[in-house]
Amino acid sequence: MPEKPVAKPAFSFPWLAVVSVLLFGFMYLPILVLAFYSFNDSRYSTGWKGFTWKWYVAFLNDSRILTALANSLIVAFFAVGIAAVIGTLMAVGLSRYRFPGKRVYQGVAYLPLIIPDIAIAVATLVFLAAVAIPASGGLIQLSLGTIISAHVVFCLSYIAIVVSTRLTNLNPHLEEAALDLGATPSQALVQVLLPELTPAIISGCLLAFVLSLDDFLIASFTAGGGSSTLPMEIFSRIRTGVKPDINALSVILILSTGFLFALAEYLRYRGEQKRLGN
């Protein structure tokens, strides 16, 4: 709780700014530490032992990490792709139709946002191991495919919730007008509604993509042998003792997510400027 300032002028004390700046430092401290040690020429030392690129070279030659990175990207890409389609359809459908059991459907749809990951992970594993694998006679195996289908579940909820926020702010007459002018419902959907929803779909996808890339628990419960994702590989290395090439990896990851994020923000900003300009 903010401490009471001793003198009067309301909350214009620099302590607020000071605390904030300190907490900014707190947020960036671990990242700076990782970056620092990714250039340090010693495996164990806390002190500075000279500059080196060797951990970056080691990282680029580390086929396990690179495979895991590729797996993670594949999982995120497909999971978000599937979730974008069925999640958007679901959000639109839910905003549009009344049907018996709608509340239950709606509740279930947003459940993944609330149930802890570990519980979802456990439930999915039990389902796969006890039902899906035996029922398919071994056709379904724990693999990248099972990670993807488990990731679709939470990606779906995140995308749907972002899209439905946009839907509630949308002019409802737009589609009606289209229908009145003779468009089929599907035409109205694809050609009128979809362009309006695109920014929301993209930002939902971006969020889901990052969450999927970062997910450790659900992936490690649903992955098969040989299909480790990046967080699983990192976790296994933290457990078995890490080399500083993990630091190099984190710097590269941070820079690329930061870049992607800046790019997305820039595009959004440009889009907005354009719209205002019109």
Partner 1 sequence: MIGLPAHFSRRSLTRRQILQTSAAIASGMVLSGCGWTLAEVRPALSKGNKDDLSIYTWESYIDPQLTETFHTQTGINITADIYDSNETMLATFQTGKGAIYSVIYPSDYKVAEMIEKKLLSQLDHSRISGLENLLPEFQNSVYDPGNQHSVPISWGTTGLIYNTDALNPGPEDWQDLWQMQQPLNRKMTLLADVREVMGATLKSLGHSYNSTNPTEIKQAYEKLVQLKPAVTTFTTDAWRDRLLAGDLLLSMAYSADAVRLIQENPDAKLRYVIPRSGTSLWSDTMVIPTTSPNPDAAYAWINFMMQPSVAADVTQRLFFATPNQAAYDQLPAPLRNNRSLFPSDEVIKACERIIPLDAKVTELYDQYWTKLTSG
Partner 2 sequence: MTNPSHPIANQPDSQVKPTWLQPLLMLAPAGVWLALLLVVPTLLIFELSLVPGIRPGQVVNPSGLDNYLRIVQPDYFPVLGRSLFFSIGTTLACLILGFPVAYWIALKVPHRWQNLVLLGFVLPLWTSSLLRSYAWITILRPTGVLNTILSKIGIPPLDILNRESAVLIGMTYSMLPYMVLILYAALEKLDRQLLEAASDLGATPPQAFWKVTVPQSLTGIAAGSLLVFITSMGDFVNPEILGGASSMTVARLIYNQFLGATQNWGFGSALSMVLILVVSIAIALLLKYGDRSAAGGV
Q: Which is nearer to partner 2, 57 or 135 (CB)?
A: 135
Shortest CB 32 distance to partner 2, Å = 9
Q: Check: CB of residue 39 under 8 Å from CB of residue 52.
A: yes
Q: Check: CB of residue 200 under 8 Å from CB of residue 166.
A: yes
The binder of partner 1 chosen from 225, 274, 276, 278 (CB under 8 A)? 225
Stretch of residues binding partner 1 (CB under 8 A), selected from 17-25, 31-39, 71-79, 231-239: 231-239
| Whole-angstrom distance, CA of residue 178 vs CA of residue 188 | 6
Stretch of residues binding partner 1 (CB under 8 A), selected from 1-9, 30-38, 48-56, 139-147: 139-147
Q: Does the footprint of partner 2 cover residue 108 (CB under 8 A)?
A: yes
Q: Does the footprint of partner 2 cover residue 57 (CB under 8 A)?
A: no
Residues 3-42 that bind partner 2 (CB under 8 A): 4-5, 8-12, 16-17, 19-20, 23-24, 26-31, 33-34, 37
Q: Does the footprint of partner 1 cover residue 110 (CB under 8 A)?
A: yes
Q: Which residues bind partner 1 (CB under 8 A)?
A: 43-46, 63, 67, 103-104, 106-108, 110-111, 113-114, 125-126, 128-130, 133-134, 137-139, 141-142, 158, 161-162, 164-165, 203-204, 206-207, 223-226, 228, 236, 238-242, 265
